Amino acid sequence: MSNVSRDKRVEKVAKATWREWLGLGSLTLAVFMLSTDMTVLFLAMPSILPT
């Protein structure tokens, strides 16, 4: 295959808008907060549960 035929198959993709980036950021923040909360609860579990 030559470079010319490969370049013709490349399609243009629209760039993400600020709204899409904001949505991605908010989802990322929510997942980060949930994972942090689960980690803290996992580490605190021996102190919380009675033995």
Q: Does 20 score more than 80 pLDDT? A: yes
pLDDT of residue 13: 87
Give how far Cα 26 sits from Cα of 7, 22, 31, 44, Å: 36, 6, 9, 27
Q: What is the model's pLDDT at position 48?
A: 86
- Quote the pLDDT of residue 4: 57
The mean pLDDT value of the chain amounts to: 87
Can you give the pTM of this predicted structure?
0.62
